Amino acid sequence: MKKNYIITADSGCIPGQNILTDPKEIPIKTIPALIIDENDQEYLDLIDITPKEITNRNNQGEIFKTASPYLSSYEKTFTEALEISDTVFHVSMGESISSSSLNNAYTEANLLNQKYGKHIYVIDSKAGATTGKLIVTLIEQLIKDGYSANEIYDKIIHNFIPRIQTSFIVPDVTGFIRSGRNKTTNSHLMNIATKFASKAINKLKLQPQVDVVDGQLHIVKCYRGKQEQLAILNLIKQNIEKLNQADQQFIVYGTIASEESSMEKAKNYLQEKTNFKHLIRQDISGVVAAYGSENLCGISYVKKLEKSYNETK
């Protein structure tokens, strides 16, 4: 059966299942990134290894690396999509976080667009994780609303992505600093992060908040959490004012492997204290778990569109 649209995404963008549309009508496909252990054994993210397995092995002292999906994985997924659809939207890891993922996606998309005379739209998420899931859901919404492919791409790139706010709690910053993705410029926060870049940070109950700012990851503040396993609830409480000033359509929240009771408390708090129409739980994948701990968690939402001068007159 011919499909009008297909959505694909890197596994680091955790596309998950359809939220607003029928998966038979608009399939969502995941392209797995690579998780690499100390013996150079490669695993396909979410297929050969789970985030929980990764964090368990991290706790035993193992160190993992990550790599973008194989070029052949992009080629295979895009080709299969174009065989049944004229239009594919691909959500990629952000350029500043995984430039090779974005470049590989662009390379294969350009080749196949020329070959098939169709169109794969590659979208730089500017981040990944909960941001990616939010973008996938926004694409679903725009498809439902009847926008054309060009209009959808334009709205995602120019209207929504600049307004997406993503924040993480990183209870153990060791892996975050090791990943090389820390762009914190505040010297005080950087000193704290460096000083406590070990398991000791958990004992002190320090919970650094890492925000995506202009496509890069910055530690913006550190605060004490009552319990490490409640990191997701603490993140939401610390940002509740911003959440209530946001567009109340969607919020995506997720963790690597926090206890279900903690995630349920976070959901209940969101239901009680905010008016989001859709609370979307989508847990974080192995490419983040490789540098994180069980209670690493994140939220993504869309800030309200600022009114123009004429609208405020």
Predicted confidence band at 204 (pLDDT cuts at 50, 70, 90)?
Answer: low
Farthest-apart Cα atoms in the chain, separation: 64
Q: What is the DSSP string of 7-66?
A: EEEEGGG---S-SSS-TTTS-EEEE--EEE-TT--EEEBTTTB-HHHHHHHHHTT---EE
State how far Cα 144 lies from the chain centre: 22
| Contact (Cβ atoms closer than 8 angstroms) between residue 10 and residue 92 | yes
Cα distances from 55 to residues 36, 69, 197, 258, in angstroms, run 13, 21, 16, 11
- The confidence score (pLDDT) of residue 217 equals 92
Q: Which of 112-121, 132-141, 171-180 has the highest mean pLDDT?
A: 132-141
- The confidence score (pLDDT) of residue 310 equals 43
φ and ψ of 70, to 5 deg: -60, 145
Amino acid at 100: S
- The confidence score (pLDDT) of residue 194 equals 61
Using the predicted structure, report yes or no on whether residue 312 has a pLDDT greater than 50. Answer: no
Predicted confidence band at 1 (pLDDT cuts at 50, 70, 90)?
Answer: low
- The confidence score (pLDDT) of residue 2 equals 59
- The confidence score (pLDDT) of residue 311 equals 43
- The confidence score (pLDDT) of residue 306 equals 73
Secondary structure (3-state) at 181 = coil
The owner of tokens 């996938």 is 136
Cα distances from 175 to residues 56, 65, 178, in angstroms, run 14, 10, 5
Average pLDDT over residues 53-63: 94
Average pLDDT over residues 49-64: 95
Predicted confidence band at 309 (pLDDT cuts at 50, 70, 90)?
Answer: very low
Average pLDDT over residues 51-64: 95
Helix axes 71-84, 99-116, angle to 10 degrees: 40
Using the predicted structure, report yes or no on whether residue 120 has a pLDDT greater than 60. Answer: yes
Using the predicted structure, report yes or no on whether residue 189 has a pLDDT greater than 80. Answer: no
Chain segment 271-292, per-residue pLDDT in tens = 999 999 999 999 999 999 999 9
- The confidence score (pLDDT) of residue 285 equals 97
Mean pLDDT of the chain: 90
For residue 4, the 8-state DSSP code is: S
The owner of tokens 């052949």 is 72
- The confidence score (pLDDT) of residue 307 equals 59
Using the predicted structure, report yes or no on whether residue 203 has a pLDDT greater than 90. Answer: no
- Domains of the chain, CATH where assigned: 6-161 (3.40.50.10170), 164-309 (3.30.1180.10)
- The confidence score (pLDDT) of residue 3 equals 76
Q: What is the DSSP string of 215-270?
A: TEEEEEEEEE-S-GGGHHHHHHHHTHHHHHTEEEEEEEEEESS--HHHHHHHHHHH
The owner of tokens 């983040």 is 288
Chain segment 137-184, per-residue pLDDT in tens = 999 999 999 999 999 999 999 999 999 999 999 988 888 878 877 777
Average pLDDT over residues 291-302: 95
Least confident of 54-63, 144-153, 224-233, 299-308: 224-233
Amino acid at 13: C
Chain segment 219-274, per-residue pLDDT in tens = 898 887 767 778 999 999 999 999 999 999 999 999 999 999 999 999 999 999 99
- The confidence score (pLDDT) of residue 191 equals 63
Chain segment 32-44, per-residue pLDDT in tens = 999 999 999 999 9
Q: For a pLDDT cut of 70, what percent of the chain falls above it?
A: 90
